[in-house]
């Protein structure tokens, strides 16, 4: 997810917190909106949100570190998620992931130094008909073989 707001500009985060403050159970939507804008939930951002919500920052930190969707560090502009759900796994999606690791010279869960790609192994994406599947941001690629990878990466 590409970031749209400078990570140092905390006013946007504060505004999001104020907008949702009165919604019961607002923490999840606030963290989701904030990460959408900043691309991550840095400690400073969490601190700003906690101030606005008048809750200890530890409470936000607890939630932010529980869910795999939230990230404390900036991710790449393009998030590559290779499905390792059962249907894809039995159709050899591990080979796809290995190929991506090789081509990007990147370990799973890490981001390239230029912040272009983040490589992740994801849970079932629910399009098992196309197994093995990967997603790059919102684009789904199905029926993959390792030979397809180079051409797909070249598009980005």
x/- track of binding to another protein for residues 68-97 (CB under 8 A): xxx-------------xxxx-xxx------
- Whether the Cβ atoms of residue 125 and residue 135 lie closer than 8 Å to each other: yes
Cα end-to-end distance, the chain, whole Å: 13
- Closest distance to another protein from the beta carbon of 29 (Å): 7
Count of residues that interact with another protein, criterion CB under 8 A: 37
- Closest distance to another protein from the beta carbon of 25 (Å): 4
Tokens of 152: 């797909």
- Closest distance to another protein from the beta carbon of 84 (Å): 8
Which residues from 10-69 bind another protein, rule CB under 8 A?
24-29, 31-32, 62-63, 66-69
- Whether the Cβ atoms of residue 80 and residue 45 lie closer than 8 Å to each other: no
Residue choice 22, 54, 107, 138 for contact with another protein (CB under 8 A): 138
Tokens of 65: 């570190």
Alpha helices of the chain — where are they, by DSSP H? 11-20, 27-38, 43-53, 57-66, 86-89, 93-104, 149-154
Interface with another protein includes 113 (CB under 8 A)? no
């Amino acid at each position: 997810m590409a970031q749209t707001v400078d990570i140092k500009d905390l006013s946007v985060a504060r505004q999001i917190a104020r907008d949702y403050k009165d919604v019961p159970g607002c923490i999840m939507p606030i963290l989701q909106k904030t990460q959408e804008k900043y691309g991550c939930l840095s400690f400073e951002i969490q601190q700003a949100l906690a101030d606005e919500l008048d809750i200890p920052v530890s409470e936000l930190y607890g939630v932010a570190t529980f869910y795999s969707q939230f990230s404390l560090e900036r991710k790449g502009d393009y998030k590559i998620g290779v499905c390792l759900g059962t249907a894809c796994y039995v159709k050899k999606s591990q080979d796809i992931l290995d190929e991506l690791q090789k081509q990007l010279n990147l370990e799973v869960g890490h981001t390239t130094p230029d912040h272009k790609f983040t490589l992740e192994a994801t849970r079932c994406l629910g399009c098992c008909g196309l197994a093995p599947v990967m997603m790059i941001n919102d684009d789904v690629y199905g029926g993959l073989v390792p030979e397809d990878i180079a051409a797909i990466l070249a598009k980005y």
